[in-house]
Structure 1
């Protein structure tokens, strides 16, 4: 199992080994220990898939058995069902078998067409969003990458371990900088016993930390949370920081006094309210553009715009489903046959991603204006 990212999505999108089978299943029953229920539900979804392969794609039983062999093995693996999250996504083609344990609840569904259905999978991309934690102090620095369930150290060879090594000074000298960092911004510049050279050395040290962190994160849009004394954080945030997604609030204290589990839990309390900030801004932009030609809620219009690279942001009701075929030449939806037809909402999402736009699958109650699809155009 791999982490969901844009490269994974594009790999699934580019699969040409039709038929492509996409199976989604809610696994939240794992919380109650209902492993047998999960096994039965998955077998039912496989039977549904088997019927479609026979009826629509003309598969014989032996072909079905071979095609679904790995999935059938999962159904009987009790250890597998004991290690679930909230949802499960499985993708099967002649030369591919991929599965993802999702941190969000999803609805059960099976899809078979010329390409994979990734609508619900995209939800995991946004919900399981990563963030960074920087433990910052004169005596210890460390960058971490985390989400709501995990936390890992990020090794940066250039990141100063501490000010002692950075300035090549003794323990007594290093302690002076630790005291300065706790004294507050005014005291850093005018503090008792702190010379102008001391103050500049501390700033030089912080600028080097910022340089290394910015170099690592500049191409990312994940949040950065600082763990440090309040006064040092204020100095770093106001006068040093170069990274645009630094959170305005820090986790106050010394990371050496917090174990990793506590660090993950305490950092998540601060970060969680911001994780879906992106959606608020997208909805606000959509509302501001009402009445203009830069937005649409019409499926056929959006399919055309997505195909021709005009869609910047796309919101879709992840439970909405409409089978058909979009003709780019005639710029209209057609109903051809069960093999050639596909989920048009998924097609809009796929074309948007391939052309560099962002897709947000939402529940029906979160969609703007109760629409099943809503797009913001680039032009």
Structure 2
């Protein structure tokens, strides 16, 4: 089991070994001892899949048994069912078997097609959103990567451990910089002398921290939360920071005074309200473009635009389903047969991702204008 990311999606998209089986299942936490229900539910989904393999793909029983062998083994693994999140996604082909435990609830479904159905899995990119924490102080600096459930330290060899080592000074000198940091930007010293030099040293120290952190995060778009004294944070944010997704609010205090559980919980309280800011932005943009040719709610038009790299952002009702085949040459949707047809909403999502666009699978009530699909075009 690995974390869902764009590389994983592209690997699943590239599968050429049809049939491709996609199984989604809700695994919301059950009371202790009730995990047997999940095992039974998954076996029912495997039976559904078995029927489709036989009816549509002409599989014999021995072929089905071989094809679903790893999934059947998983179904019988008691330890596996005792350690679930909110949802489970399983993908099976002749030469591939992957599963993902997701922190989002899914609806039960099975798909057997020429390609994997990724609509629900894509949700994991957004709902399992990562963020970064920078513990910042003169006596300790540390970068972390976190989400709602996990917290892990990131080793940065270039990151100054503390100001004492960075400036090669004694404990007494380091204590002075700690006091300066608490004074923050208010300590722009007047007059000349050592105080001005000390202020420059502190800024130089913070700039080096910013350089190392920015080097690590510059290609990311995740939020960065600072854990620091309020005035030190203000100084860092207003005069030093280079990272565009730094949050305006800090977690006030010193990370040395928090255990890992407190750091994870307190940081999540601050970050959570911002995690879905992206969705408001996309919906606002869609509303602003109403009446223009830069948006569409028509499935066939959107599929053509996605195939030809015109879709910048795509919102889809993750329960919407329409079978067919898109012909790029004729630029139209056709109904061929059960084996060749595929979910056209999934196809639109896959083409958007392959061409660098962003896809947001949503519940029906979250879709703009009650549409099943909505796109913002690049041009």
> Structures share a fold, TM > 0.5?
yes
- 1:130-149 equivalences in 2 (<5 Å): 130-149=130-149
- Give how far 1:191 is off: 10
Count of aligned residue pairs for this structure pair: 379
User: Which whole-Å deviations, capped at 9, do the CAs of 1:319-357 have from their partners, x for residues lacking one?
Assistant: 001111111111111100011000000000000000000
Counterpart in 2 of 1:120? 120
- Give how far 1:187 is off: 2.3
Tell me, in whole angstroms, the C-alpha distance in 1 between the residues paired with 2:198 and 2:235.
15
What value does the CA root-mean-square deviation take over the aligned residues? Answer: 1.3
Counterpart in 1 of 2:361? 361
- 1:28-107 equivalences in 2 (<5 Å): 28-31=28-31, 33-107=33-107
User: Which whole-Å deviations, capped at 9, do the CAs of 1:67-125 have from their partners, x for residues lacking one?
Assistant: 00010011111111110000000000000000000000000000011100000000011
User: Which whole-Å deviations, capped at 9, do the CAs of 1:222-264 have from their partners, x for residues lacking one?
Assistant: 0000000000000000000000000000000000000111100
Counterpart in 2 of 1:250? 250
The secondary structure found in structure 1 opposite 2:4 is coil
Is the 8 Å Cα contact of residues 30 and 82 (structure 1) preserved in structure 2?
no
Tell me, in whole angstroms, the C-alpha distance in 2 between the residues paired with 1:288 and 1:265.
37
- Give how far 1:272 is off: 0.2
The secondary structure found in structure 1 opposite 2:37 is helix
Is the 8 Å Cα contact of residues 29 and 84 (structure 2) preserved in structure 1?
no
The secondary structure found in structure 2 opposite 1:30 is coil
The secondary structure found in structure 2 opposite 1:48 is helix
User: Which whole-Å deviations, capped at 9, do the CAs of 1:11-61 have from their partners, x for residues lacking one?
Assistant: 000000000000000000435652111111101100000000000000000
Counterpart in 1 of 2:241? 241
Q: Does 50-59 or 189-198 show the bigger shift?
A: 189-198
Summarize the Cα distance change of 1:279–1:153 in structure 2 as closer, same or farther, 3 Å threshold: same
User: Which whole-Å deviations, capped at 9, do the CAs of 1:144-187 have from their partners, x for residues lacking one?
Assistant: 00000000000000000000000000000000000001123212
Summarize the Cα distance change of 1:31–1:378 in structure 2 as closer, same or farther, 3 Å threshold: farther
Tell me, in whole angstroms, the C-alpha distance in 2 between the residues paired with 1:376 and 1:201.
48
- 1:249-328 equivalences in 2 (<5 Å): 249-328=249-328
The secondary structure found in structure 2 opposite 1:195 is helix
Is the 8 Å Cα contact of residues 25 and 87 (structure 1) preserved in structure 2?
yes
Summarize the Cα distance change of 1:266–1:355 in structure 2 as closer, same or farther, 3 Å threshold: same
Tell whether 2:177 aligns with 1:173.
no
Summarize the Cα distance change of 1:49–1:256 in structure 2 as closer, same or farther, 3 Å threshold: same
The secondary structure found in structure 1 opposite 2:320 is coil
The secondary structure found in structure 2 opposite 1:247 is coil
| TM-score (structure 1 length as normaliser) | 0.98
| TM-score (structure 2 length as normaliser) | 0.98
Tell me, in whole angstroms, the C-alpha distance in 2 between the residues paired with 1:295 and 1:31.
45
Is the 8 Å Cα contact of residues 134 and 224 (structure 1) preserved in structure 2?
yes
Is the 8 Å Cα contact of residues 132 and 145 (structure 1) preserved in structure 2?
yes
Structure 2 residues without counterparts, runs of 5 or longer: none
Tell me, in whole angstroms, the C-alpha distance in 1 between the residues paired with 2:366 and 2:33.
30
